[in-house]
Amino acid sequence: MAKSEKVIFKGLDSPSKEEITKVWDKVVNLVELFQVQQHGPHLSQLDAEEKKLRASEFLRKLSLGNNEVLETLERNILCADGMDNQDNLEEAIHDDTVNGLGMVEQFRLRQIISTPQSENAGDNLPHASLGSPNAIAEYKEYSQYIDKAELPGLTERVKLLANLLTSSKSPDFRSLKCLSWDHQPLEYKYTFQFEVPKRYQSPQCQYRSLHSIIRTAKASTRPTLDERLRIAFLLASALQKWHSVGWLHQGINSHNIIFFRVPGQERFDYREPFLHGFDFARPDLDPSIGKPPDDDTFDIYRHPNRQGPSRRGHRKIHDIYSLGVVMLEIGLWQVASDMRDPRSKRTSKPEDLRNLFETASSSRLPHYIGRAYASAVHTCLQSSFGVKMDDERGSFLARAFQSQVIDRLKEGIQPN
């Protein structure tokens, strides 16, 4: 094995190797089965249309299998030992194997995240120029009472986030490209400008949050059941992508998931959800800066450990819990705040809300969207995943999230 190959494979642990081998064996078995069928005596009795359908189905399954192999390789290699080391990352980026697997962008993102913040290129981004017809603005406010000693660190984190959102990445990350950022210290906020994808650009560009669509969309303009299943799957896969490169979102809720409308069409494009509103998102192992605001609108999506005076630092499992609340909304087609008894909205404790959501996911959700989906949501809300001890990179949690959430969501998606 070449030295460069050792860099990306030598850090794999036994469970990673077993998982990679398992998905590869599935592809091999599929090919072998197709070959047996091709040479079977019954094949000559099939008409041309049936042969074409069988070949088409084989190619579809082969494509899915290849994607699964690549996704498994990517997830395990990015979580392998040594993938936070700058020398190893630089070597991997220029490795032919990494290029062939289409993983260079992911390694570059991890390299950006692993680089000391003062060395990142966020200062090189242009500052915000408001009013562009092909851009949307997002504002990140912070408390005027923030500890002044924390402000430089917060600004560095904003620069890093802008740098990440500017960098080239696959559509699977479901994020908009950042064009610029600015800091308005007198207004206690940061401004980001994001590019509207070209297919949605128009003088009257329209976009709307998932929360708003659930609340207000008429029946004819709502997403179908198949579209809702796919939205949840794409969001879960995007979160896995961000976690695999070592980045936490910290602001997952249905207000921060947006859809654009193609010019001239009545419905929004539900094939393309975008994960927006990275709430002072940060590298996984960095400490949280400041405290999230006590806002009932967003607290309802936060893990109980992230609420109240003794709230804990944000971790991957907290992003996953927030995703579970959003998927519950998608499944029941009801916003989380409307699931509570109106009389208890101001008095509900975080654990009471969690119990309410878990009960809804186990009792109501299977009837609306199926058991596999309900199981995935319930697992996110419980936040256990059967992982009692994990490594520093969270590779055990990543593996459990793949099998207990993403794979279950995938079960309900209809083939294209």
Q: What does the pLDDT look like over 335-354, one tens digit per residue? A: 999 998 776 655 568 888 99
CA distance 188 to 263: 35
When pLDDT is cut at 50, 70 and 90, the band that residue 238 belongs to is: very high
Count of CB atoms situated within 10 Å of the CB of 368: 16
> Can you give the pTM of this predicted structure?
0.83
Name the pLDDT band for 4 (thresholds 50, 70, 90).
very low
Helices (DSSP H) in 315-364: which residue ranges? Answer: 316-332, 350-363
Q: What is the pLDDT of residue 23?
A: 81
pLDDT higher than 60, residue 121: no
Where do the structural domains in the chain lie, given as residue ranges? 1-114, 121-195, 206-416
Which residue would you say has higher pLDDT here, 389 or 320? 320
* Per-residue confidence (pLDDT) for residue 29, from 0 to 100: 78
Task: Point out which residues pair with 248 in neighbouring strands.
Answer: 282
pLDDT of residue 290: 46
Q: Give me the pLDDT at residue 94, please.
A: 83
pLDDT at 51: 63
Fold that domain 206-416 belongs to in CATH: Transferase(Phosphotransferase); domain 1 (1.10.510)
CB-CB contact of 259 with 273 (8 Å): yes
Give pLDDT tens digits for 275-306.
998 876 555 555 454 444 556 778 899 988 87
Structure-token match 């986030």, residue found: 161
- pLDDT band with cut points at 50, 70 and 90 for residue 45: low
Q: What are the tens digits of pLDDT across the range 69-82?
A: 777 777 777 777 66
The residue among 174 and 129 whose pLDDT is bigger is 174
Order across the sheet with 257-260: list the strands: 207-209, 257-260, 274-275
Percent of the chain with pLDDT over 70: 78
Question: What per-residue confidence (pLDDT) applies to 409?
Answer: 94
Q: What's phi and psi for 413, nearest 5 deg?
A: -85, 130
Amino acid 96: pLDDT: 81
Average pLDDT of the chain, as a whole number = 82
